[in-house]
């Protein structure tokens, strides 16, 4: 006989406790522990394997090492992030802020796959069938191979999967789907976990590429238990400023490709449009001849991206100056300021320092250090740098400029966009020939970089 067990689970991180607690011991959030009922059924065996059949262990050298077949969509940016396309039987989790464009992206992807004569089933738990049709009209995503169902009951969804037999399945969203055998509300930790496990088994056994849309918390993480991200094959974050038209698709987990790639889209009236040249987008509104503005060549996976860095150094009236950064790690900004004070003699202890990556993109590689230091020095001296300079390099604590990877690709991207000079680490100039029409200045210290930037 089934036994009902009472437990309390955190709605933010999924931590479980046998009794109610005001503060979650896992994530530290207050008033997030909710009561859930769990039905425990005693079974004789362990259960069914993920493949649906009993298997025996085999030597790894006897396993077929053939490449996973991939289904390419008409969205090249999405293919780039996924590692070349959608893998049949994979389970993909897409998260993002409300209204950022997750449903729009997946509806366009569904139409692209349905246009290749693949059967696509779009399950909407937040919109009616008529609302989905209106959005499809606006996006031009009408095809007879795209099936739409408004349902949240997992058993009825399973019946629809058996009836349609799709090649591509979209669940929008996993927080609205519920299993009638689980005695808790939709969106709870138990429901999200059980429903995700069910769709994982369906994807692996039937070979259906499945995409789950996940809600996010106010901190930006995907809501529900952390185990949700461990169960899926790929976790994508769709992010961007709602007041800007562009969107970034970033992979934080991918079993079939790299997690360093990003896809860049622009939101328009007819849906999302791919941005083939992101450097031109991020530099379109850059002012010329203004102090504190520099251009850095950053790498997002295998793609070089030129982004504008803006710095503002102003006198402070407080004993402790402010250090604020947007798009760059705050601790990195503090480190760069300390190097400028100690090695370059800049008296920044009475100055507020603000650093911003124009366009809202986030840069997390150390190659942006040198450009950030030049921007801060430019604002501090109120002396603009040359408008057609590109700067990149890593800064050490002793003031040296360290080599960075993929220097040749960064330089070629700068040359393609019409820049005249590149200030970069001298040790990164070995092993390749610079393109014609652009001057390369190799530096070994921050002092040499500042001297070259302000000459």
Q: Check if the beta carbon of residue 204 is closer than 8 Å to that of residue 51.
A: yes
CATH tag for 281-453 (out of 3.40.50.2020, 3.30.230.10, 3.40.50.10330, 3.30.930.10) = 3.30.230.10
Q: Check if the beta carbon of residue 303 is closer than 8 Å to that of residue 296.
A: no
DSSP letter at 445 equals: B
Q: Which of 227, 195, 214, 183 is nearest to 35 (CA)?
A: 183
Please count the residues of the chain.
Answer: 455
Give the strand pairing for 91-96 and 234-239.
parallel
Question: In sequence order, which residues have a C-beta less than 8 Å from that of residue 189 and are 6 or more positions away?
Answer: 9, 10, 11, 14, 16, 36, 224, 225
Residue ranges of the annotated binding site for ATP are 96-103
Q: Check if the beta carbon of residue 424 is closer than 8 Å to that of residue 393.
A: yes
CATH number of 71-276: 3.40.50.300
**Largest pairwise CA distance in the chain:** 83
Q: Check if the beta carbon of residue 120 is closer than 8 Å to that of residue 109.
A: no
- Termini Cα distance of the chain: 83
E strand residue ranges, 28-184: 33-40, 91-96, 120-124, 146-150, 168-172
Q: Which of 131, 305, 303, 24 is nearest to 295 (CA)?
A: 305
pTM of the entire structure? 0.76
Tokens of 447: 């002092």
Q: Which of 338, 334, 339, 371 is nearest to 354 (CA)?
A: 334
Distance, CA of 336 to CA of 333 (rounded, Å): 5
Distance, CA of 71 to CA of 76 (rounded, Å): 12
Residue 253's φ and ψ, nearest 5 degrees, are -155, 135
Distance, CA of 240 to CA of 414 (rounded, Å): 25
Read off the pLDDT of residues 244-257 as tens digits, 9 standing for 90 and up: 778 889 899 999 88
The SS3 of residue 333 is helix
Distance, CA of 385 to CA of 372 (rounded, Å): 13
Tokens of 243: 């007041």
Angle formed by the axes of helices 446-453 and 369-381, nearest 10°: 60
Residue ranges of the annotated binding site are 96-103
Where in the chain are the domains? 3-40, 71-276, 281-453
DSSP string of 203-249, one letter each residue: HHHHT-EEEEEE-B-TTSSBSS-THHHHHSSEEEEEE--TTSSEEEE
pLDDT of the chain, 455 residues: tens digit per residue: 456 678 888 877 778 888 899 998 888 888 888 887 765 544 444 344 555 556 789 898 888 776 668 899 989 999 999 988 999 999 999 998 888 899 999 999 999 999 999 999 999 999 999 999 999 999 998 999 999 999 999 999 999 999 999 999 999 989 999 999 887 888 888 888 899 999 999 999 999 999 999 988 777 778 777 778 889 999 999 987 666 778 889 899 999 888 878 888 988 888 899 987 888 778 878 888 899 999 999 998 788 999 999 999 999 988 899 999 999 999 999 999 999 999 999 999 999 999 999 877 889 899 999 999 999 999 999 999 999 999 999 999 999 999 999 999 999 999 988 999 999 999 999 889 888 889 999 999 999 999 999 98
Burial of 181 (0-12, 13-18, 19+ CB in 10 A): exposed
Give the strand pairing for 168-172 and 234-239.
unpaired
Tokens of 135: 């959005």
């Amino acid at each position: 006989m089934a036994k009902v067990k009472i437990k309390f689970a955190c709605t933010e991180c999924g931590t479980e406790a046998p009794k109610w607690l005001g503060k979650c011991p896992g994530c530290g959030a207050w008033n997030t522990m909710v009561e859930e009922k769990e039905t425990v059924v005693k079974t004789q065996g362990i259960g069914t394997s993920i493949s649906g059949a009993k298997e025996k262990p085999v030597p790894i050298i006897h396993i077929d090492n053939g490449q996973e077949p991939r289904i390419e969509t008409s969205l090249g940016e999405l293919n780039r992030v996924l590692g070349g396309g959608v893998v049949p039987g994979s389970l993909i989790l897409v998260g993002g802020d409300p209204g950022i464009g997750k449903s729009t992206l997946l509806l366009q992807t569904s139409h692209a796959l349905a246009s290749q004569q693949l059967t696509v089933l779009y399950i909407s738990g937040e919109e009616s069938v008529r609302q989905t049709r209106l959005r499809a009209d606006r996006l031009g995503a009408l095809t007879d191979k795209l099936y739409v169902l408004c349902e949240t009951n997992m058993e009825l969804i399973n019946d629809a999967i058996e009836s349609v037999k799709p090649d591509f399945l979209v669940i929008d969203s996993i927080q609205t789907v519920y299993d009638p055998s689980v005695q808790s509300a939709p969106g709870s930790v138990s429901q999200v976990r059980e429903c995700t496990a069910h769709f994982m088994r369906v994807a692996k056994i039937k070979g259906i590429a499945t995409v789950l849309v996940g809600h996010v918390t106010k901190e930006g993480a995907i809501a529900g238990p952390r185990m949700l991200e461990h169960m899926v094959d790929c976790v994508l974050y769709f992010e961007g400023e709602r007041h800007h038209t562009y969107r970034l698709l970033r992979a934080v987990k991918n079993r079939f490709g790299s997690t360093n790639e990003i896809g860049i889209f622009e939101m328009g009236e007819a849906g999302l449009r791919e941005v083939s040249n992101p450097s031109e987008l991020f530099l379109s509104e850059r002012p010329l001849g203004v102090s504190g503005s520099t251009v850095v060549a950053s790498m997002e996976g295998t793609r070089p991206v030129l982004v504008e860095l803006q710095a503002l150094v102003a006198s402070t009236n407080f004993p402790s100056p402010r250090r604020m950064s947007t798009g760059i790690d705050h601790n990195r900004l503090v480190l760069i300021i300390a190097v400028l004070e100690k090695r370059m003699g800049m008296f920044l202890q009475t100055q507020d320092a603000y650093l911003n990556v124009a366009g809202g993109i986030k840069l997390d590689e150390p190659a942006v250090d040198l450009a950030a230091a030049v921007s801060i020095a430019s604002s501090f001296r109120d002396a603009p740098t040359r408008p057609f300079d590109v700067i990149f390099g890593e800064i050490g604590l002793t003031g040296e400029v360290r080599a960075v990877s993929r220097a040749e690709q960064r330089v070629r991207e700068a040359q393609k966009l019409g820049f005249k000079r590149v200030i970069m680490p001298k040790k990164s100039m070995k092993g390749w020939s610079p393109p014609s029409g652009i001057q390369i200045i190799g530096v070994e210290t921050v002092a040499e970089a500042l001297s070259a930037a302000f000459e």
